[in-house]
Structure 1
Amino acid sequence: MADLLPLADAQYRLLALATPLAEEQATLAGATGRWLSANIKARVDHPFADLSAMDGYAIRFGELPGPWRVVQEVAAGAVPSGPLGPGKAARIFTGAPIPAGADTILIQEEAARDGDTLRLSGEGPPAKGAHIRRRGSNFVAGATVLGAGERLTPARIGLAAMAGHAALPVRRPARVALLSTGDELAPPGTQLRPGQIYESNADMLGAMLATGPVIGDRKPLTCDHSVNLTNAIEAAAADADILVTTGGASVGDHDLVRPALEAAGARLDFWRVAMKPGKPLMAGRLGNCVVLGLPGNPVSAFVTALLFLKPLIAALGGAADPLPRTVRLPLGAPLPANGPRFDFLRAAIADGAVHPLATQDSGALLALAQADALLLRPPHAAAAEPGMFADVLIIA
């Protein structure tokens, strides 16, 4: 397998082709799923003051078990009417600021009130300062709350809003052109001619791209004719950041994508990776566009898109860690020793273990649709028994 590039080397070389895209400001609603291009600092303290964490009464801990006289009421969004003197208490609600002079919250379930007179009726607060959220305990103004390269999850969007930001610096969405090649392909829903099959890669990859910050552009099907293919490649790459071709990347007489790319002026960085499925993968540049040639077999296209296309989009978007993350799970079935290529087995997770599916053919999309994980088998991995742990990539 000396002519095949190791998987990790191929991923590294592909990401080296990616230059982060131009920066723009996105609203919080429009920033979800994108990556920050700069650190985000808090504009305020949070909490903005010492706040009650419970409904109850603000008291002095040293005056337990009371009695106290209730002299004011403080709700969230209000301010105390004044400080509390000795023997005084304030009715208080969750999120309300603590009046000066109080140092503890007596929760309402442990309080007995008769008119304005308040007494302890339960065990009481366990210590001075109980049930108080201190000012700045979440973050203080000027603190970095989010870092450049972090992906903006819903929780991080909420944190940015809490820190006072209505818009965030991100990279513009990548423009991705999808070009499917092959005389045997026909659009779904049309009448098949003898020898034809329905094209599925563009819809599958389009659905995959829908989860990321991209502008997808599905190009018309292209036949296996060198001049037509070269023209289609040139047109698709003209206004794209990434051109994705599927099919025609192997070594047969009708596998014309590589020569068509070269005829269009592309500089190929690598071709053929030591992985299964997905060996006939190529990558390079055509002008300002990164070109990624995926295999035509649907499972191969899916796996290589997951391991190369999505990380490339993340790298263009400014991700600090663009490669997919794996988890460790016990095996639910034995596995034989692996060969010289990195193998990605379609698998299902059940009862806390990962189970490889019976069908592993690179054209068997039904098995992939039934899978919720890829089971990773490094080159020359030894045989493994049930209960042994393996790296798993969740795909559901």
Structure 2
Amino acid sequence: MARTQSRHHAPDELVTGPGPQLSRRVALIAAITPFVVIATDLLVAVLAGPGLRWLSMLAAAPALAAARYGPRSVIAFGAVSLAIGVTLGMRPGSPSVDDQAFVLAALAVITVASALLSALRQRRERELIAVRSVAEAAQQAILAPVPERVGSLRIAVRYSAAAAEASIGGDLYGVVLTPFGPRAIMADVRGKGLPAVSTAALVLGVFREAAHDEPDLLRVVDRVENSLRRNLGSDDFVTAVLVGFPSPDRLHIANCGHVPPLLVHRQVVTVVEPESTVPPLGLLELSEARPVLVSVAFEEGDQLLLYTDGVTEARNHQGVFFPLPERLQQHLTADFTGTLDALHARLLDHNGGRLNDDAALLLIQRAAP
């Protein structure tokens, strides 16, 4: 599910740990189990001789097939089981016809019931596919793939939604080229699902418009804050970090309650902490603290990593948080996108292949002219 051009991946493509491997293994077992059951019944019938015990075991084949195959295939498994039962029931010493008829009738009933369950399962699967298609369309409309190049910057993104079944989450990012230089945002909406997506769409819409209109990056923050104040509930908020590149060799950062970015300068990773603690967007009016621009030198080859707390709060089976600065330092390579690929792979390995929270990584590098 990787698309190298935009460096934006759908959530189900990103999860490549043991979880998907286990699912494929379970699907394979479910596919071959009905065949194994029929073969085992035949072997038992030949070795054990005439009787009803092995005949009743044949009902397991269509029942198990309902978990993997469609109604027609389930009926086919049932028909094969019935044919085997009738054929083996003709051997000398077999139970009476009345006894066999009762067991074979039960097998037929189980086959019909299994076929109905299979049809219901397929219907639910089609509904889930339709829901996921709508969710993915909404996700793509909001988190449009960022270009590989914005002005003098190279961009790479990796995104994983915790609600992988819906392919949708509450993290958001965006990069736009404005008359005042490239500008970027990384934010995390409180909550998940459709309410979070609605808020994410609002934040990105206001950011993209204000970023083109406002020369001052702090005015962009104010525009987003004012919009959220009018539209969010009292308990809702959005942590965000906004970055501006007013000149090729310098960047400005405004942090509103978000995890601090990581700066890679001359192959050394440092945390860009805000000058003061500022509440998230939507709650700024509750505090006297206001966001302050942090100005940082950004030389050719330097990189800036924006991310959400789903990355740093990912835990392994021992409860240890993912050490993002250390891992970034370890995986710095000459290949810009290779760094992010390796970092994302280590994140999934650390958390057992499946994240418990939405996680986004946005890596920005000042490239050569």
Could you say which TM-score interval applies, normalised by the shorter chain? 0.3 to 0.5
Specify which structure has the higher proportion of helix: 2
Specify which structure has the higher proportion of strand: 1
The alignment's TM-score, normalised by the length of structure 1, stands at 0.31
The alignment's TM-score, normalised by the length of structure 2, stands at 0.33
